[in-house]
Amino acid sequence: MPIEQANCMRRFVRMCADAWEQGWHESNAGNLSYRLDEEDIRVCMPFFSIKGEGHEWHGLGFADSDLAGQFFMVTAGGSPLRKVGIDPAINCGVVEIDGEGKAWRKVWGLKGTHPTSEFSSHLLAHAVFIRETDGDNRVVYHAHAPNVTALSLLLEPDEAQWNRALWGVMTEVIMLAPQGVGVLPWMLPGSKELAVRTAAKLEAHDAVVWTQHGIIVREQTFDDAFGLAHAIEKAAGIYLNARAANGGHRPEHLVSPAQLAAICEKMGLDFDVSALAAPDE
Ligand code: 13P
Ligand code: ZN
């Protein structure tokens, strides 16, 4: 069995293809990472190599002992998500983190290339999840979701405003994201600051909007990560359409705070009404 048949690899490749089909990944936009579990490592280990050129250790620029010894499947910097399934060994790969959590090396794929330029954001996010005791988040996904990005041109980078808009669009959003989205102002793509601020937001939110850029989500599985990004992107699109149809004003019939509270009570979700902004115009 080639490594391409490994369960984690098939799911990784499938998610890249699904995401590409949504139109969220122009050129090399977006990136995906997955923290291998014990079974993945057992299945993939026979294909790993650390001999010869290209397998040197590279400093991460930070040290996080919670990442020590972990293996990550990750898209390559500059690679189109469209091509991950066509030529996985070039457009993605598996890296190992050293025993101190301060360096990485290739163990499979990433031929002639390196992990995504947002690797710091992915790794610091994974470190948050490793420290969590009540979850098993293994997937971090960044998309240039067009409606989310368009909405970031209209709304302030203010979580209350964003969640009033997104939760208000359709009842599904609060079910998938009862803690709402986190929102960051514009920051330099690939920067340490973006990585650190994103990881801090992901402690409280499963999705974070990057103003004028896109969205990053974290979830347990590929399906959950894709589903969350999809729901938020769809809600942003509906909100924009409704607002445009209403002469550019906030739609008048958003799902109300009372309705949101009723959904959360039925589903046993925590809901803080104070997380909603006063209606904007
Ligand atoms: P990479 O090609 O390095 O993954 O960059 C794409 C991107 O979306 C940066 O934010
Ligand atoms: Zn990006």
pLDDT in tens, 81-95: 999 999 999 999 999
Task: Tell me how far the alpha carbon of residue 177 lies from the centroid of ligand 1, in angstroms.
Answer: 25
Cβ of 216 closer than 6 Å to ligand 1, yes or no, is: no
The yes-or-no verdict on residue 280 having pLDDT over 60 is: no
Cβ of 118 closer than 6 Å to ligand 1, yes or no, is: yes
Give me the pLDDT at residue 281, please.
44
The answer to whether residue 172 is catalytic is: no
Interval 243-248 mean pLDDT? 98
Interval 173-186 mean pLDDT? 95
The yes-or-no verdict on residue 276 having pLDDT over 80 is: no
Task: Tell me how far the alpha carbon of residue 148 lies from the centroid of ligand 2, in angstroms.
Answer: 13
Provide the whole-model pTM.
0.96
Question: pLDDT > 90: what percent of the chain?
Answer: 92
Specify the residue for token string 């890296």: 95
Catalytic hit among 96, 118, 159, 233: 118
Q: State pLDDT tens for residues 138-176.
A: 999 999 999 999 999 999 999 999 999 999 999 999 999
